[in-house]
Amino acid sequence: MKRFVGLIVAAMIVLAACAPTTVTPQTSTEQIARLPFSEAFSRVTTAINTQPYPSDSGGWVITSSDQVGGFISAELNGSRYQLFAGSVPYRAFVSVALVARGDAETAVNISLNSEEEAKKLATAIRSALGL
């Protein structure tokens, strides 16, 4: 009897795992900058290099960059004080992908983590590109 109940439970789990699900598509985060590709890439690099940063960090560092491939990644490592935990390290990360869309337009996709400094840099990049 225990074996039979076990088989029924296993069959129900398999059926539940195979049940159809509804997939909601992600909304596109791609934006179009009215700039040639080389100018857009240059502005993103300048925005990263000139972004103010908190005194508890070493500033934004470009960790990977490829103008031909059209991407730039930057990160900021710092520490913040939290009650009862003391100094806690954090890492802000921003990645920008650029794709030429003709001679005078560039598609831009900005990815970032949830750190406040990453949000500030992403805003600065959008501003530099006129988005």
One DSSP character per residue, 52-107 reads ---TTB---EEEEEETTTTEEEEEEEEEEEETTTEEEEEEEEEEEEEEE-SSS-EE
Would you give the distance in Å from CA 69 to the centre of its chain? 17
- Helix (H/G/I), strand (E/B), else coil: 45: helix
- Average of pLDDT values for 8-36? 65
What structural domains and CATH numbers belong to the chain? 26-129 (3.30.310.80)
- Average of pLDDT values for 79-104? 87
Distance CA 64, CA 72 (A): 6
DSSP state letter for 50: T
Q: Among 100, 106, 80, which residue's Cα sits nearest to residue 92?
A: 80
Question: With 60 as the cut, is the pLDDT of residue 26 above it?
Answer: no
DSSP state letter for 31: E
Please report which confidence band the pLDDT of residue 73 belongs to, taking 50, 70 and 90 as the band edges: very high
Mean pLDDT of all residues in the chain? 83
- Helix (H/G/I), strand (E/B), else coil: 113: coil
Question: With 50 as the cut, is the pLDDT of residue 57 above it?
Answer: yes
